[in-house]
Amino acid sequence: TWKDQACVRTSQIHWREDHSVTWLERHMEMTQGFILVGKNPGLFVLGEPTHDREDLDEKHRALPDPATTKAYILPPGQGIIIKKGTWHDFPVSCGPPVSAFILNTEEVVEALASMPAAGPMNHGDCFKLRMSEHWDFTLKFPDPRPFVQKLGLVPTPIAQPLMGPEGYGAGMQRAEVASGWGNGARVLVVPVVNVEVFTPGCGGPAIQPHLQSVPELANKGWRDYGNRRGLQRLSQMFKELGIPATAVINSEAAQLDYVAKALKSSGWELGAHGLNNSSGNAKMTRAEEEAHFKRCLDDLQGSLGARPATWLTPGFSVTERTPEIAAKSGVKAFLDFVDDDVPYDIVHSESGARTLCLPYCMETNDFSLVLTKHFDARQYAQAIEDHVRQLAKEPGEKVVCLGMHTFVAGTPARVLALSEAFGRLKACPEVRFATAAQVHDAVRKPR
């Protein structure tokens, strides 16, 4: 349906990082059309008409209803006609540029062209409003790139920089650490003992993955063994060797009396590892993630008597906001990144909040070496020793985190092999063992 002369425009729409719905408009005297040309899909934000809703008063019939506003993916080469009164935004790219024919009336085109800058308008058959002037929340659509790529709607893979421009989180920038923090050591080795619990019935790491019955006893018991025996065995090993260590702890694990007792007597630095290892941060909103950090840190302080200053996110299940929220929550040493052999700061560009990243090495992690590469106890310990010795030969100061789990590293055979390897490394003049907190303090110490 057209009020006057039809007008066809073309537009090429490029990707935008902001997924907010800033504007919505509607037309009451025509049905507008969009046709996608080329090989790429587009995203359309559409809201059901409200002008004829009998359940709304006159004021709200002039506004879109956020509850009925949705984002739709239109495959390439297809088009849509939207009926009168449908609220809509301009088409959005799903990653690669999308080209479209836009079917309008001359009146609407002239009205839009008359605006010197984007703004609300009520001219002719174009009624357009700014969402923030009517609601105290922001309407957003999910990132469409994983969806269109999974369904094969784009011809080539789409780059998805989901952790900010530098890869360290939204708004986070990397800052290098000045040399001299090692105080004569070339390698600081940080044993990181993961103390974890898993939600019953939700699975977890397995020593015999083929066992899938419910209730499942063997793999669950293997994981529970870590907290009942492996934790105490590792604690005793580090005490006998006189080597410091950091534990990163699920706050729900610290609520177990025998776990809390072992941790309090260990002499380790006590860090944070989320609530449990079955639920990560990945799908949380900002408010949910901030509450998650606070609850974890509060609970660990209550259970163990000190507020943690070191953080490792369970299962690397992060959002692009995790590093910023960690820094603002008082986390001084952050272990989520794995991309270097040296510590470095990440700093939030707006707030100035910073945290020190200690790369959490994948090559020395017991999951990598034992569960993935299937190394036996001697091979596991030897791989760690070889890694550290090679770093000690190289110029500059390095840090290496040894990711250890109570149910993997804490078994008798592995503790025996580790104690021998750690004893040899302790005798190396270029190597020093430390906690994450000690590395942080060394970096921050004036020099």
User: What digits encode the pLDDT tens for the residues 228-282?
Assistant: 999 999 999 999 999 999 999 999 999 999 999 999 999 999 999 999 999 889 8
Residue with tokens 């009520």: 122
From the list 409, 435, 438, the residue with the least C-alpha distance to 232 is 409
Q: What's the pLDDT at 1? A: 57
From the list 243, 234, 241, the residue with the least C-alpha distance to 189 is 243
User: What digits encode the pLDDT tens for the residues 224-235?
Assistant: 999 999 999 999
User: What digits encode the pLDDT tens for the residues 98-156?
Assistant: 999 998 887 777 777 777 777 888 877 888 999 999 999 999 999 899 899 889 998 87
User: In terms of DSSP bridges, do strands 42-47 and 69-74 run parallel, antiparallel, or are they unpaired?
Assistant: antiparallel
Cα 269 to Cα 233, 263, 338, 384, distances in angstroms? 17, 9, 21, 21
The amino acid that residue 280 corresponds to is G
Kindly state the tokens that stand for 161: 């920089």
Asked if residue 18 has pLDDT above 90, the reply is: no
Kindly state the tokens that stand for 103: 């079917």
Q: Which is more confidently placed, 396 or 115?
A: 396
User: What digits encode the pLDDT tens for the residues 21-58?
Assistant: 999 999 988 788 999 998 999 999 999 999 999 999 99
Q: What's the pLDDT at 111? A: 74
Cα 134 to Cα 24, 66, 130, distances in angstroms? 11, 11, 7
Q: What's the pLDDT at 220? A: 93
Residue with tokens 């949380």: 284
Q: What's the pLDDT at 44? A: 96
The amino acid that residue 36 corresponds to is L
Asked if residue 422 has pLDDT above 80, the reply is: yes
Report the pLDDT averaged over residues 400-409: 98
